[in-house]
Homo-oligomer: A and B are copies of this chain.
Amino acid sequence: MKELTPRQQEILDFLQQQHQANGSMPSCQEIAGHFGFRSPNAVTEHLRLLRQKGVILREPGKARALRIVTPLQKLRRCVQDIPLYGSIPAGFAEAREQQAEGCVSVDINSVGYQPTRNAFALRVTGESMIGRHILDGDLVILEHGPDPRNGEIVAALIDGESTLKTYVVKQGKPYLKAENPKFPNLIPAQELVIQGVFRALIRPAKV
């Protein structure tokens, strides 16, 4: 790939910024308007050169049909948005999307699996799962729905709060186990609502 001229870099930056802001690419006329060109041809020429240098893709004849190709975006997979809850008090279905506190956006490649529509994220408070290397402040991504297997980490509703525990089956009976000697152990899982099964974790930077 050859180097871009300063002007070409300006055009490319504008394309990228507009796509971020509006979700779609600007038309040739809009680009011309932004840079004060009186002729749409100036844009056509620039886009031709950008295409020639391999930094954008075009579908000829189509409106707003250009894509920026960066080395990273070639590798980039689909980015999924997962709702982040503070806690999930009661039913799961109702809570979905309404009262999400935030949003965790990760590509399925990094996170190692394809989140379903039942995926959600929780922020961990406390050190109760330190034995499984989950720390205070971590974001955990969970799947709502599937039955947990022995030894998997689950989020359960305990005293109105979503709490992470290990799901263990002992003599045929399911229990929830905290992975920290300071915490109470082995709560019978029958009367508890399992909200989700642990899938992945994000540990944000310390501030």
Q: Which residues of B contact A139 (CB under 8 A)?
A: 110
The CA-CA distance from A78 to B77 in the complex, in Å, is: 16
Give the shortest distance, in Å, between A45 (CB) and chain B (any CB). Answer: 21
B23, B71, B105: the one contacting A97 at CB < 8 Å is B71
Interface size of A in residues (CB-CB distance below 8 Å): 57
A72-121 residues with Cβ-Cβ distance < 8 A to B are 72-73, 75-79, 81-84, 97-98, 100-107, 109-113, 121
Which residues of B are found within 8 Å of A68, using beta-carbon distances?
23
CB of A204 closer than 8 Å to a CB of B: yes
Query: CA separation between A155 and B75, bound complex, in Å?
Result: 23
Q: How far is the CB of A41 from the nearest CB of chain B, in Å?
A: 19
A84 to chain B, nearest CB (A): 8
B interface footprint on A38-67 (CB within 8 Å = 1, 0 otherwise) = 000000000000000000000000111111
Whether the Cβ atoms of A110 and B204 lie closer than 8 Å is yes
Tally of this chain's copies: 2
CB-CB nearest in chain B for A96: B71
Give chain B nearest CB distance to A30 CB in angstroms: 9
A49 to chain B, nearest CB (A): 20
Q: Are A24 and B25 in contact (CB-based, < 8 A)?
A: yes
A135 sits at the interface (CB 8 A): yes
Contacts of A5 in B (CB 8 A): none
Asked if A201 is an interface residue, CB under 8 A from chain B, the answer is yes
| Cβ-defined contact, A205 with B113, below 8 A | yes
The reply to whether the CB of A12 lies closer than 8 angstroms to some CB of chain B is no
| Complex alpha-carbon distance, A77 and B81, angstroms | 10
Minimum CB–CB distance for A53 against chain B, Å: 14
Closest to A71 in B: B97
